[in-house]
Amino acid sequence: MAFILPLSPHRRGWAVEQKLSNGGGGVEAATMVFVYGTLKRGFPNHPLLAASGSPLVGAASTATPASLVVGPYSVPFLLPRPSSSSGSHLVSGELYAVSPRALVDLDALEGTHLGVYERRKVTVVVEGGSGEVVEAEAYFAHTSYMEALWLRCGGEAAEIGEYTMEHAAKDLDPQLQVALKGYLVARGVNSKLASSLHHHLVEKERWQYMNWLKTLEDMFSHHLVEKERWQYMNWLKTLEDMFSKDH
């Protein structure tokens, strides 16, 4: 797969326009995707990027401080909100040129159709000698629950600049990690199954949160209906008393 990187002037520096050979002699546009978690090299979901033939442009970081937290089950979430950390973290990650077909697979992996993540614009700086400023896209926690997630994770104190293997396995004892890995490998548990389990757990938690909100909504709706009914009955009683006095 050929990788072409023509540079064009951009109001915020240099933007990278990328094109990928589609294998049939044609060229198709690619999307620059900034990954900061389990899609990075060495992490469980990276094989999906590798198998798609998406070229690595290079290590990169956000151009401005961003809010990255580690959520339930050690899952990283970039939040669509300004970083409030006094450390003002620039989030580190990797930049890839992703074909339209591979982008569909990434959207499915990240559960964009389920409202788990959403793909949004992000400005990143490619590390190294060039230091190009690139307009890319990244997978952010969905806005419907991101504020609640930020608070649950610990708010400002929980923001980090880089998602590492220590974060990925922070909930497990080191000896247990080794034993568990051997157990899973022996039983044929691969990255595809692990990805499915990850999305099941994230979606389950999101469903529980939405169900809780629905319960609150129903409770308040019932309260308002009862209050309105009581006011109506009180009004009828007042009318009844008035007519009783007149007659």
**Least confident span in 10-19, 64-73, 150-159, 169-178:** 10-19
At 32 the three-state DSSP class reads: strand
pTM tops 0.85, yes or no: no
At 188 the three-state DSSP class reads: coil
Sequence-distant (6+) residues with CB within 8 A of 145 are 206, 209
Instruction: Write out the H or E segment, with its range, that includes residue 140.
Output: strand 133-141
Q: What is the pLDDT of residues 82-101, one digit of tens each?
A: 766 565 689 999 999 999 99
Q: What is the pLDDT of residues 10-25, one digit of tens each?
A: 333 333 445 555 555 5
Between 91 and 217, residue with greater pLDDT = 91
Would you say 97 and 27 are in contact if contact means Cβ atoms under 8 Å apart?
no
**Least confident span in 84-93, 191-200, 214-223:** 191-200
Catalytic residues: 110
Assign a CATH topology to domain 3-163: Hypothetical upf0131 protein ytfp (3.10.490)
Nearest 5°: the CA angle 140, 141, 143 is: 105
Task: With cut-offs at 50, 70 and 90, classify the pLDDT of residue 198.
Answer: low
